[in-house]
Chain A
Amino acid sequence: MIKEGKIGTIEAISISTIFLITKAFYINPGTVIKLMSTAGWYATEISVLGSMLLFLILYLLMKRFPGNDLVGIFDIAAGKFLGKLFSLIFSGFFVYYSGVNIREFVEMIKAYILPYTPPSAIIILFMGIVIAYAYAGLEGIARMGYLSFIVILVGLVIILVLPFPFYDIDNLFPMGGYGIKASLQYGALRSSAYSEVAFLAFIINSLQGTKNFRKAGLISLAFAGIIIGTIILCSLLAFEYPQGSENLSALFQLSRIVYFSRFFQRVETVFIFIWVMASVITVSITFYLAVSIFCKSFKIPKYRPFLLPFAFCTFLVTLLPENISEIVEKHTNFLRSYSMFIVYFIPILVLIIAIIRGKKGVKEKDEEA
């Protein structure tokens, strides 16, 4: 099996949080404001709660089979064939996720900073970095994730604090958004936007225990909820809801309106930094997971030879969408509204199967004792 090394809880929280919040640097806040207007900033917390609930169900599954990661559990609980199928679905899902994420990133880069650069150049460089990260392995990604997390937090604080002259608390009224029903409905549906946290189940062996798994998952969800909520809140405060829903990237727009004096303005560079960092970490995780899940499910001891073929697949995915509207309406919408049907419901299905078949991770428990 692949030797993944150990990562600390704080590192796990860092990468998981980055994984969850990267979407807030893209179109996500705009979409949320469009769906829920002024209610967006707290309705997203509903999504977090929903995701926490589903995550706890996942935790039940993991607790049932201690010492196994999700791929192993699929095999044990659902049988060799079905288990492999599930694993492959996840592997494919993560390839798709990386691809769409890269494409979204590239569209943003092109829209804001490099409008005339051929996208393939941006993608190839990005893929290069991602391959390097996946090559370094989970430990490297986690360590870099922790470092980036600090930078990202500092950058976020700078970007969110500096435009305060534009903030007007009255922009949050009327508080109800499009009504409680709409808020709840979209809030629950968009639990998918926080479903990525389930990836921790695949690296649970590096986390040193299911307790840490639960801790890392819940804390990072809470973090992500606070951060994304704040970003949406600040976007509303500065732009009011009609313009808030127009913006391609709320954060970038916020960083562009900073104006203090003739000298202190135009700080969007800070944003480019944290933007690329977050995207690199996120895509590295998904890409690494895609490869490692594939290798784990077929019990291939070395994952590195698969990096290039998978990178090619990912590259193909990035070419799928034809234009930015397709990305926004089809792909990211799918990821952020319906991905939980894959990410959460397959494990839950497996849990149900396990309960019905009465499977339990007994062997490992004996070993532990």
Chain B
Amino acid sequence: MRKLRLILFFVILVFILTSCTTDRHEVDDQVYTLMIGCDKGIENKVRITIQFPTYKEGGGGGMGKKGGGGSEEGEVSGTLVATIEASSILEGINLLNTSTTRRISFVHTKTIVFSEEMAKEGVRDYLQPIARFREARRIMQIIVCKGTAEDFIKDNKTQIGESLSKAMELAAKQSENSGYFPEVPFQEFYTATISPYRQAFTIYAGLNEFKTIKPLDGENVKKNSPLRTEYNMQPGDIPRTGNRKIEFIGMAVFNGEKMVGSLSSYETRYFLLATGRFKRGIFTIEDKNSPGDAIPFDLRLARMPKTSAHFENGVPVVNVKISVEADLGAIQSRIAYEKVNKINDLNRHLANIIQGGIEKTIRKTQQEWNTDIFGFGKKIAHNFSTVTEFEQYNWLKHYKEAKVNVDVIANVRRTGLMMSSSPIRNNEDTILSKERK
């Protein structure tokens, strides 16, 4: 035992003498990048923007002074934004250390943003550092933004709470509540780019300058409020105003490492439905018995879609069976859809709309870009016995030839808190006369 102790003592001594703790960093010796943005550079290959929180005290964590008079210029929601041009991401970060007073750490990076321009040219050069570098985590979100990433990050702030990191993680989680955009961790994106089964996609985001919404009291404004369902929009186009300019809507579609196009909000929903990623969302259709009135549903998947694939005369055939459930949100026309016979009608109508939408979306990916973001290749792979054969066939090339059959079953399960809707009375007609019409 004495020898053991001696060895122990010796080991400790060696450690203290060599001061081996070069990996030790105090918490406050580092700054933790929350977001990295990549733009095409002008002077050099890439322009990197990073955002990291400051350690300025709001006094015990209570009420913080944010954005107020006390904050520095360029400070966004308790964070600082820095931009640099460099030859690669990692070196760019390193270069930033010349001006940032503390070591920049990636361990808590939540999001990486590519500008659309850059994504279209290919992101190959910038995937590697994240996949290879130990500090970067593969669970970070990956976003393609319209406009420049630099502007995007400058507008990345939190209004509700103090914590930007919380806001960022929660913002990405909103995918579950709406289905207007997918939630894509880097891990999945990266796997998809090198996958033989499928192609990559990611969140499409942009800044809304609040210009698409016309002021209510403006000139030449006709307020006839037309009903528009399947409101297909790109980021930045939503007619809204508010504080946070950033909006996530739709998705960017990649062929390999290059972005080839984007899906709009409802196309994204159809995509999510077809791949089983759709959690829930309000889905509005037009009442076919009363045009101009909308029926919003609380839509969700009844079960995971069943996809199967086989070859018919050398042509790949993919069958997708989707089963959705919905709760009635409202019936603007107050037609009694709750009745058993009518509810089946409604089911069919809803199913048709969704089926049409999904088919259209799939056709779009086949014909416009020939990129299988749906991952049908995984099912096609069942028909091959070895990897060698599968790779020789090269599914990604043959995607556009595939015949995709979509079958949607919709089922309105519940009608909310009402079993029927009584007509609204006014001082003009009796109910009977109205029904007679």
Contact, CB under 8 Å: A174 / B138: no
Interface assignment of A121: CB less than 8 Å from any CB of chain B: yes
Judging by beta carbons under 8 Å apart, are B185 and A178 in contact? no
Assess the A175–B385 pair: CB atoms within 8 A.
yes
Residues of chain B within 8 A (CB-CB) of A300 are none
**CB-defined contacts of A266 to chain B, threshold 8 Å:** 137
Q: Does A321 contact B (CB under 8 A)?
A: no
Q: Is the CB of B138 within 8 A of A257?
A: yes
Which of A37, A128, A239, A265 makes the CB contact (< 8 A) with B387?
A37
Cβ contact of A118, chosen from B3, B22, B191, B387, cutoff 8 A: B22
B20 A118 Cβ-Cβ under 8 A: yes
The distance from the CB of A232 to the nearest CB of chain B, in whole angstroms, is: 15
Max count, chain A CB within 10 A of own CB: residue among B8, B15, B20, B388: B20
Q: Which of A124, A132, A170, A262 contacts B379 (CB 8 A)?
A: A170
Mark the stretch among A22-30, A91-99, A108-116, A197-205 that contacts chain B.
A108-116
The main secondary structure of chain B at its interface with chain A is helix
What distance in Å separates the Cβ of B23 from its nearest Cβ neighbour in chain A?
A: 5
Whether the pair B386, A174 counts as a contact (CB closer than 8 A) is yes
Contact partner, A257, options B3, B11, B185, Cβ 8 Å: B185
Are A135 and B187 interface neighbours, CB within 8 A?
Answer: no
> Could you say which of B77-85, B192-200, B218-226, B410-418 contacts chain A?
B192-200
- B411: min CB distance to chain A, Å: 26
Minimum C-beta distance from A21 to chain B (A): 24
Within 8 Å of chain A (Cβ to Cβ): is B21?
yes
Instruction: Count A/B pairs, Cβ under 8 Å.
Output: 105
Q: When chains A and B are docked, how far (Å) is the Cα of A8 from the Cα of B190?
A: 47
Interface residues on B, range: 35 or more
Residue A334 at the chain B interface, CB threshold 8 Å: no
* Interface residue? A168 (CB, 8 A): yes
Interface string of B18-32 (1 = CB under 8 A from A): 101111000000000
For residue A307, which residue of chain B has the nearest CB? B3
Q: How does the 8 Å CB contact mask read for A118-156 relative to B, with 1 for contact and 0 for none?
A: 101100110010011001000000000000000000000
The answer for the CA separation of A125 and B15 in the assembled complex, in Å, is: 8
Flag whether A117 is at the interface (Cβ < 8 A). yes
Nearest chain B residue, comparing its CB with the CB of A266: B137
A177 touches B22 (CB 8 A): no
A64 adjacent to chain B (CB < 8 Å): no
Given B21, B137, B139, B378, which contacts A171 in the complex, CB threshold below 8 Å? B378
Residues of B within 8 A of A (CB): 3-4, 7-8, 10-11, 14-15, 18, 20-23, 131, 134, 137-139, 166, 169-170, 185, 187-188, 190-191, 194-197, 375, 378-379, 381-382, 384-390
Return 6 A-B CB contacts under 8 Å, by A number: A117-B23, A124-B14, A128-B7, A170-B382, A171-B378, A178-B388
